[in-house]
Amino acid sequence: MKIDGKTRICGLIGNPVEHTLSPMIHNTLAGILGHNLVYVPFCVEEGKAAEAVAGAEALHILGLNVTVPYKSEVMAALEEIDPLAQAIGAVNTLVGTEGGFKGYNTDMEGLYRAMTGEGIRIEGEQIILLGAGGAARAVAYLCAVKGAAKVYMLNRTLEKAQAVAQEVNGAAGREVIVPMETKAYADLPDGQYLAIQGTSVGLWPHTEDTVVAEENFYKKIHTGFDLIYSPWETKFMRLVKAHGGQAYNGLKMLLYQGIIAYELWNDVQVSEKDAKAVYEKLCGHFRRQE
C-alpha cells in the first residue's frame, strides 16, 4: 500500500472497534480495484460521536462506517439521511457530500444480498425473527418491504417487539410483524419457517448459548440465518442443522454491507468475482483462528 498526498481516508467509528473486520474488507477492495484509499478504525469515546463526525468533515474524510453504540446517536450530526435509514432509525454508513455527511443503512441491503446469494427467499415466507434490537429492527423492515407473508418477532422483552411491530406495520400498511415473547414460541402456528437469529445470544465466547434451547422449536425451521459470524457456527445453527434444516452465519451480511458502503463512497459497482475474493480473505481469517 502506497500512501501519498492523494490518499483518501475512510474509516469506522464505534466503541469498541479493536476486533472489527471492516478494514480487511475495505483495504482488500481498494487493493483489488487499484484505489488510492485507506480504511482505519477510530475508537470514539462516549458522548463524542457528533464531534467525531464534525472532525471527519473538516478532514474531508471520504466516508465512515458507524457501529455500536452510535448507529442512532450519530444521526443528529448528519446533513442528510437516506429515507430508508430514517425509517429504520439507524445509519451504519456516512458518505461525504458538499454540505456534510449523508447517512445510509447498508445492513439491510447487505443482509438481502447475502440471503438472495444463498437462494433464500423472503417473499411469501413465514418468518421467525429472534430479537428486537437494532439489527432485528432493520431485518423486520427488510422482511416487510420484500413481501414476507408473516414475521413472528420473538423477543425476551415483549414491549420492545411490540414497539418495533407497531412502527414497521404502520410503515408497511399491513399487519406483517407479529410480536411475541420468546418463551411463548410453542404458540407459533404450525408450519415450516425461515428463522433469522438477530439477538446477541451465542456470540463468542458464549458459544453454547442459544435463545431457544427446546429442540422441538428447531423442527419448525427449514432455513436458519444467524446474524452472528463469530463463532463460525453458532449453537442456533447447529440445532437447525441437527433437525434437517440449512443454516448460514452472518459473515456474508457483513461482507455485503461493507461492499455497498464501498460502492457508495467510490461510485463503483463491485463485481461478484471481487466480492468472492474478499470473502475468501475473511474466511482465511477465521480458519487461522480455529
Size of the site for ligand NAP (CB under 6 A): 25
What is the smallest separation between the CB atom of 206 and ligand NAP, expressed in angstroms?
9
Among 12, 164, 227, 259, binds ligand NAP (CB under 6 A): 227
Lookup: cell for 123: 417473499
Q: Residue with C-alpha cell 440471503?
A: 115
Sign of CA dihedral 160, 161, 164, 166: negative
Nearer to ligand NAP, 56 or 136 (CB): 136
Helix axes 22-33, 251-266, angle to 10 degrees: 50
**Would you say 37 or 254 has its CB closer to ligand NAP?**
254
Q: Which is nearer to ligand NAP, 27 or 197 (CB)?
A: 197
Q: 66 in the Ramachandran plot: left (φ > 0), alpha (ψ -120 to 50) or beta?
A: beta
For residue 98, the minimal CB distance to ligand NAP (Å) is 30
Q: Count of H helices and E strands in the chain?
A: 10, 12
Of these, 57, 82, 107, 109, which contacts ligand NAP (CB under 6 A)?
107
Contact range with ligand NAP by CB under 6 A, out of 22-30, 42-50, 164-172, 224-232? 224-232
Distance of alpha carbon 199 from alpha carbon 201, whole angstroms: 5
Q: Which is nearer to ligand NAP, 200 or 246 (CB)?
A: 200
Taking CB positions, which residue lies at the least distance from ligand NAP? 133
Q: Are 74 and 56 in contact (CB under 8 A)?
A: no
Give how far the C-alpha of residue 71 lies from the chain's centroid of Cα atoms, to the nearest Å.
11
Ordered DSSP codes for 61-91: --EEEE-TT-TTGGGGG-SEE-HHHHHHT--
Of residues 150, 142, 159, the one with CA closest to residue 177: 150
Q: How far is the CB of 254 from ligand NAP (least distance, A)?
A: 4
150 φ, ψ (degrees, to nearest 5) = -150, 145
Our finding on whether 61 is near ligand NAP (CB under 6 A) is no
Applying CB under 6 A, among 29, 75, 132, 164 the residue interacting with ligand NAP is: 132
Q: In this chain, which of 48, 156, 222, 281 binds ligand NAP, going by CB under 6 A?
A: 156
Site map 190..219 versus ligand NAP, x via CB under 6 A: --------xxxx-x-------x--------
Q: Which of the following is catalytic: 2, 71, 102, 219?
A: 71
Q: Is 257 in the site for ligand NAP (CB under 6 A)?
A: yes
The per-residue b/e assignment along 263-289, b for 16 or more CB within 10 angstroms, e otherwise, is ebbbeeebeeebbeebbebbeeeeeee
CA distance 235 to 237: 5
Q: State yes or no: is 71 an active-site residue.
A: yes
- Nearer to ligand NAP by Cβ, of 16 and 244: the residue is 16
Which lies closer to ligand NAP via its Cβ, residue 136 or residue 144?
A: 136
> Shortest Cβ distance from residue 132 to ligand NAP (Å)?
5
**What are the catalytic residues?**
71
Instruction: Point out which residues bind ligand NAP (CB under 6 A).
Output: 68, 107, 131-136, 155-157, 160, 198-201, 203, 211, 227-229, 250, 253-254, 257
